[in-house]
Amino acid sequence: MPNVDDIIKRALNEDAAFSDATTLSVIAPQCKANARIIAKQPGIVCGLSVAAKAFKALDPRVVTSIKVKDGSRIKAGNVLALISGPARAIISGERTALNFLQHLSGIATLTRRFVDLVKGTGVKIYDTRKTIPGLRSLAKYAVKCGGGVNYRMNLADMAMLKDNHVSLMGGGLGIRASVGAIRKKYPKLKIIVECDNLIQLRSALDARADTVMLDNMLPAQIRKAVDIVRTRKNKRPLIEVSGGITITNVRKYALKGIDYISVGAITHSAPALDISLDIN
């Protein structure tokens, strides 16, 4: 679990949870409460410790008893956590805590769906940098809870030569020159080259890229690309498939020879899991 204290504090301040006009007006400061966090639909839970930290940040006297581990498969009606302590903190922190919990559980749930669909193929599901700004560390934690694999965290983790770089550098020659420039400046970084067609793929192989990303290719094109990679005598790069991958077609893209499929949707389009907090 990443260090999320600053993220939680920003979220609580955004919601003015420390200045909750309604709660400060109608709930006495000495009032205590017990509450339950309950799943309203099945899925993969993630973020319970984040929710607990949100309540704790409002009042350190709040105690949260977590009943299931992050990454667990849950059913509708499951009690995920019990909360007790000052009522004001529980009520004022409810929305922030649930926002984190629902969002992260949604990512974990969608990730697990993709992972289950490629089970047995040997292909892994990777995330991307397509995350809500400021929440990337949490989103990637949720991906891991869903059984996915974290890709690069930021632009400095790896070098990824994308189509816009290539356009500015001049096509196939640009790939070879660009990979060389990256290796000269950052000799220890892994280099990924995005390939929109087989011509670019051959240039990436000539440049000895560490990974070739087959972007927006159809399965038939991907099979040809895998065959081209196999014919090369130099060290075989990893093969990534990306672009247009959905729940309905991911299995078709999990072809023999593919190492992993990256899916932006698991972090940028995951629907929130329905989870609620009820005061006893």
Mean pLDDT on 141-166: 94
User: Is 80 exceeded by the pLDDT of residue 270?
Assistant: yes
Average pLDDT for the chain: 95
User: Is 60 exceeded by the pLDDT of residue 94?
Assistant: yes
User: Is 70 exceeded by the pLDDT of residue 29?
Assistant: yes
User: Is 90 exceeded by the pLDDT of residue 163?
Assistant: no
User: Is 90 exceeded by the pLDDT of residue 258?
Assistant: yes
pLDDT, residue 167, reads 78
| 37-75: pLDDT as tens digits | 999 999 999 999 999 999 999 999 999 999 999 999 999
Mean pLDDT on 20-32: 97
User: Is 70 exceeded by the pLDDT of residue 244?
Assistant: yes
Mean pLDDT on 129-150: 97
Q: Catalytic positions, please? A: 95, 130, 162, 194, 215
pLDDT, residue 2, reads 64
All domains in the chain, ordered by first residue: 5-109+270-279 (3.90.1170.20), 116-268 (3.20.20.70)
pLDDT, residue 234, reads 75
This prediction's pTM:
0.94
User: Is 90 exceeded by the pLDDT of residue 182?
Assistant: yes
User: Is 80 exceeded by the pLDDT of residue 171?
Assistant: no
pLDDT, residue 269, reads 96
**More confident position, 96 or 233:** 96
Measured CA to CA in angstroms, residue 69 lies from 5, 29, 47, 74, 95 at distances of 20, 32, 9, 10, 21
User: Is 60 exceeded by the pLDDT of residue 172?
Assistant: no
Provide the percentage of residues in the chain whose pLDDT is more than 90. 90
pLDDT, residue 164, reads 86
